[in-house]
Amino acid sequence: MTMPLRRLPRTAAATLVTLAALTTAAHSAVAADTLGSAAAGQGRYFGTAVAANHLGEADYTATLDREFTSATPENEMKWDATEPGRGTFTFGAADRVVDHARSRGADVRGHTLVWHSQLPSWVGALGAPDLRAAMNTHINGLMGHYKGQIHSWDVVNEAFQDGGSGARRSSPFQDRLGDGFIEEAFRTARAADPAAKLCYNDYNTDGVNAKSNAVHAMVKDFKSRGVPIDCVGFQSHFNSASPVPADYRQNLQRFADLGVDVQITELDIEGSGSAQAAAYTRVVEACLAVARCTGITVWGVTDKYSWRSGGTPLLFDGDYRKKPAYDAVLAALGGSGDPDGPGDPGGPAVTCTAAYTRTADWSSGYNGQVTITAGAAPVSSWTATVTVPAPQSVSSVWNGTPSRAGDVMTVRPSWNGTLAAGTSTTFGFTVVKNGSSAAPTVGGCTAS
């Protein structure tokens, strides 16, 4: 429509506006049944850690692609994976994660550039001038390779000690370069990819405590001196010994008040059932309550591959079924909820579709075939209906057991009706035309 709206007759303009509103409403109603689309409705991303070596598993990638709008390589971008020898960069596994995510429209978080862990031993063996050069080379190497492809980088990870001291953690960087290594890393990172948000990321900083106070003071100092920092990541690994802090939201807010975005970067909460679901709800609600909380990343797709799999801390179980925690997160994000309803074991609704084709045709009759396809959940039995228009009549049926009520024929599987999710089976029938070649009506596929 190129005609300006004001030149349309009044009623046509009103109709256009109504249609546009309906389209928008329908779109968001359909879209908000996944974590990613529900979070998008709140202006946030919903991400997960991704391991390259699972991308070949169909259920893993199907769940990843369906639910998440951001991916963090779980280990593939770490120093030991990307620069195992000085100046020797290896990007293969990280590229697989980045390419998979971006080819499906997901964003990527970069994790992580400067960290004391998963650090090859050659780095720790360098003296100060060499270490400074190696750190900057490493940042430039990774950020250059992925320039323009990463929405946020964890520039420095876990640089502060646990406990009450508020001190920096001992590491090759801290011990040889002193406090200034963090600032230097951020300045190098800004120049390497000016479009990427630069984050400081840590754990046990989720509530107000000595460690988070120390990080807060650092960020405040960076902002006051113009050191480039855009975001703070809160890992948010929780369990009964380290639950979601009561002041989680307030802590996120006080960082946001410094003029940085905040992100939940590695969320997982050990437990099960309604207690786990309630804890996840608190995290999501805290993020949504802080305008500058731009997104949430959970630390893995399925419990079976979690780094803490014994604690079953994620949203999908080992069979990729949605857990109560999934339903709680989706609901907290304003999503449409699990179509199976509350209290179910999780997972998508059991559905099927019936598609008809005429496979043979002759003067007095024709053969029809119906393909029954299971939806996202496995099917243990199904029925479909075929209505042939008068004066036609069905003379035989194969691969299905018919029963008739008037002109409606209901077909069930002849033997086992089991279908794996997304798979198909067929049945067929011969129709005597009696002078009419019109197509039958096929539909009413029901599954259980």
Active site residues: 158, 266
Residue 51 or 260: which CB sits closer to ligand XIL? 51
Binding string to ligand XIL for residues 241 to 270, with x set by CB under 6 A, is what? -------------------------x----
Q: At its nearest, how many Å lie between ligand XIL and the CB of residue 117?
A: 7
Q: At its nearest, how many Å lie between ligand XIL and the CB of residue 153?
A: 13
Evaluate whether 273 touches 280 at the Cβ level (below 8 Å).
no
Paired residues of 46 in beta bridges: 296
Q: Which of 171, 235, 373, 383 binds ligand XIL (CB under 6 A)?
A: 235
Binding string to ligand XIL for residues 335 to 374, with x set by CB under 6 A, is what? ----------------------------------------
What is the C-alpha to C-alpha distance for residues 278 and 323, in angstroms, rounded to an integer?
Answer: 12
Q: Where are the beta strands (DSSP E) in 53-136?
A: 70-73, 107-114
Dmax of the chain from CA atoms?
93
Residue 11 or 121: which CB sits closer to ligand XIL? 121
Cβ-based neighbour number of residue 10 at 10 Å: 7
Q: At its nearest, how many Å lie between ligand XIL and the CB of residue 306?
A: 8
Residue 261 or 266: which CB sits closer to ligand XIL? 266
Please give the full DSSP string across 190-240, using - where no structure is assigned: HHH-TTSEEEEEESS-SSSSHHHHHHHHHHHHHHHHT----EEEE--EEBT
Q: At its nearest, how many Å lie between ligand XIL and the CB of residue 307?
A: 3
Buried-exposed string 221-250: b where 16+ CB fall within 10 A, e elsewhere: ebeeeebbbbbbbbbbbbeeeebbbebbbe
Residue 115 or 429: which CB sits closer to ligand XIL? 115
> Pairing state of beta strands 261-269 and 365-374?
unpaired
| Count of H-run helices and E-run strands, the chain | 13, 17
- By Cβ distance, which residue is nearest to ligand XIL? 307
Rule CB under 6 A: say whether 157 interacts with ligand XIL: yes
Torsion of CA 445, 324, 52, 42, to 10 degrees: 90
Tokens representing 301 are 């797709």
Evaluate whether 372 touches 445 at the Cβ level (below 8 Å).
yes
Residue 266 or 317: which CB sits closer to ligand XIL? 266
From the list 353, 431, 425, the residue with the least C-alpha distance to 385 is: 353
Please give the full DSSP string across 284-334, using - where no structure is assigned: HHHHHHSTTEEEEEES-SBGGG-TTGGG--SSB-TT-PBPHHHHHHHHHTT
- Tell me which residue has tokens 């419990």: 303
Residue 214 or 431: which CB sits closer to ligand XIL? 214
Evaluate whether 83 touches 138 at the Cβ level (below 8 Å).
yes
Q: At its nearest, how many Å lie between ligand XIL and the CB of residue 88?
A: 22
Q: At its nearest, how many Å lie between ligand XIL and the CB of residue 299?
A: 6
Residue 131 or 298: which CB sits closer to ligand XIL? 298
**Segment 407 to 436, residues that bind ligand XIL, using CB under 6 A:** none
Residue 318 or 422: which CB sits closer to ligand XIL? 318
Please give the full DSSP string across 250-288, using - where no structure is assigned: HHHHHHHTTT-EEEEEEEEE---HHHHHHHHHHHHHHHH
Q: At its nearest, how many Å lie between ligand XIL and the CB of residue 266?
A: 6
Evaluate whether 344 touches 436 at the Cβ level (below 8 Å).
no
Rule CB under 6 A: say whether 75 interacts with ligand XIL: yes
Rule CB under 6 A: say whether 302 interacts with ligand XIL: no
Rule CB under 6 A: say whether 317 interacts with ligand XIL: no
Q: How many residues bind ligand XIL (CB under 6 A)?
A: 6
Residue 152 or 157: which CB sits closer to ligand XIL? 157
Q: At its nearest, how many Å lie between ligand XIL and the CB of residue 64?
A: 16
Tokens representing 92 are 């293969």
Rule CB under 6 A: say whether 74 interacts with ligand XIL: yes
Q: At its nearest, how many Å lie between ligand XIL and the CB of residue 75?
A: 5
Please report which helix (H) or strand (E) contains residue 447, including its range: strand 441-447
Indicate left, alpha or beta for 278 from its phi (over 0: left) and psi (-120 to 50: alpha).
alpha
> Pairing state of beta strands 352-362 and 365-374?
antiparallel
Name the site residues for ligand XIL (rule: CB under 6 A): 74-75, 157, 235, 266, 307
